[in-house]
């Protein structure tokens, strides 16, 4: 019997690529996103598209009930919805910072809490949470984004210990640099949040780097993530963490082996100077 997979953040990037890939592999895929019009490729591949805002608890309840009513189960939940809020701490309002956490962390938690009872009932299930290599390292001006990813790391570890006895596995996906529209969103937020900033020099260095990477993308194609997610789903004993994509292992190695001082020199060598 095909596994039923529920994916949030499925309208672009790794979410869309993976939803289409898995649907073509004959998994039963439900892709969810606020942008319903962007998920037609999932439907064309044989999957289903549902409108969902992960900050809306009622929508989450309705989505999970809808899938359970039709499929009688959810085998895999991939919490992939998220975005990057970039700018200096001093430049970003606390309300915007709270929204970053509401989407990246609490949206993930809402989805998980709604799906868990159904997995416990079956005594089986897999939850994949999209962290990032940024959940273990950092980049300048990404304080709020990185803090959500660091939080997801600890949250997932605790959850994994709690639900293991119910036959439920928790895996963290830690992408490195993936070619997607993530950089465009970073750029948009950074330009919005950095006007008249005392951190103008650092902001401009980051903006130049982002524009350069958007014009000539450096990173892995999203398909590498799709294949990694498939590997996790098919594994009898999934690992807790999966590093995937360009630069992920290198960045962790530099910080872990050489320490924080060398890691900061690594960032400055990339042009990110205050």
Check if 131 is active-site. Answer: yes
- Summarize pLDDT for 130-175 with one digit per residue, the tens: 999 999 999 889 999 999 999 999 999 999 999 999 999 999 999 9
Q: Is the pLDDT of residue 51 over 70?
A: yes
Structure tokens at 130: 């999209």
> CA 102, CA 93: separation in Å to the nearest integer?
14
The helix/strand/coil state of 143 is helix
Catalytic residue among 12, 132, 149, 220: 149
Residue 175 located in a structural domain: yes
Per-residue pLDDT at 274: 59
Residue 29 located in a structural domain: yes
Catalytic residue among 131, 147, 156, 220: 131
Per-residue pLDDT at 4: 98
Residue 271 located in a structural domain: no
Residue 17 located in a structural domain: yes
Contact 30, 111 (CB under 8 A): no
Residue 254 located in a structural domain: no
Check if 11 is active-site. Answer: yes
Q: Is the pLDDT of residue 263 over 90?
A: no
Which of 91-112 are b and which e, b meaning 16 or more Cβ less than 10 Å from the residue's Cβ? bbeeeebebbeebbbbbbbbbb
Looking up residue 156, the CATH number of its domain turns out to be: 3.40.50.720
52 alpha-carbon distance from chain centroid: 16
- Looking at the structure of the chain, the number of domains it has is 1
Catalytic residue among 145, 199, 242, 246: 145
Check if 143 is active-site. Answer: no
The whole domain housing 144 covers 4-182+220-247
Per-residue pLDDT at 124: 98
Residue 200 located in a structural domain: no
Residue 120 located in a structural domain: yes
Residue 190 located in a structural domain: no
Which of 263, 244, 248 has its CA nearest to residue 140? Answer: 263
For the ranges 49-63, 228-242, 246-260, the lowest mean pLDDT is seen at 246-260
Contact 233, 239 (CB under 8 A): no
Per-residue pLDDT at 197: 86
216 alpha-carbon distance from chain centroid: 23
Alpha helix stretches (DSSP H) within the chain: 13-24, 40-44, 57-71, 94-101, 107-122, 143-163, 182-193, 200-215, 223-234, 248-258, 260-269
Check if 30 is active-site. Answer: no
Kindly report the pTM of this predicted structure: 0.93
220 alpha-carbon distance from chain centroid: 15
Catalytic residue among 11, 33, 147, 156: 11
Per-residue pLDDT at 78: 98
């Amino acid at each position: 019997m095909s596994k039923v997979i529920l994916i949030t953040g499925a309208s672009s990037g790794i979410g869309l690529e993976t939803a289409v890939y898995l649907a073509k592999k004959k998994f039963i895929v439900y892709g969810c996103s606020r942008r319903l019009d962007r998920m037609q490729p999932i439907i064309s591949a044989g999957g289903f598209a549902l409108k969902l805002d992960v900050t809306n608890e009622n929508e989450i309840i309705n989505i999970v009930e809808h899938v359970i009513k039709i499929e009688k189960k959810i085998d895999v939940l991939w919490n992939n919805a998220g975005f990057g809020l970039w700018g200096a701490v001093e430049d970003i309002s606390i309300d915007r910072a709270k929204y970053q956490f509401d989407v990246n962390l609490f949206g993930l938690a809402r989805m998980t809490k709604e799906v868990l009872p159904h997995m416990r009932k079956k005594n089986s299930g897999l939850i994949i949470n999209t962290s990032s290599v940024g959940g273990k390292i950092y980049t300048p001006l990404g304080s709020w984004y990185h803090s959500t990813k660091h939080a997801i790391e600890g949250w997932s570890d605790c959850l994994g210990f709690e639900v293991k006895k119910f036959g439920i596995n928790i895996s963290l996906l830690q992408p490195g640099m993936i070619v997607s529209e993530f950089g465009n969103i970073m750029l948009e937020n950074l330009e919005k949040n950095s006007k008249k900033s005392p951190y103008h020099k650092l902001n401009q260095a980051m903006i130049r780097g982002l524009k350069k990477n958007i014009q000539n993308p450096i990173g892995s194609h999203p398909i590498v993530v799709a294949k990694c997610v498939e590997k996790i789903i098919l594994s009898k004993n999934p690992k807790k963490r999966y590093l995937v994509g360009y630069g992920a292992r290198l960045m962790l190695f530099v910080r872990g082996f050489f320490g924080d001082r060398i890691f900061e020199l690594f960032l400055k060598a990339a042009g990110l100077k205050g």
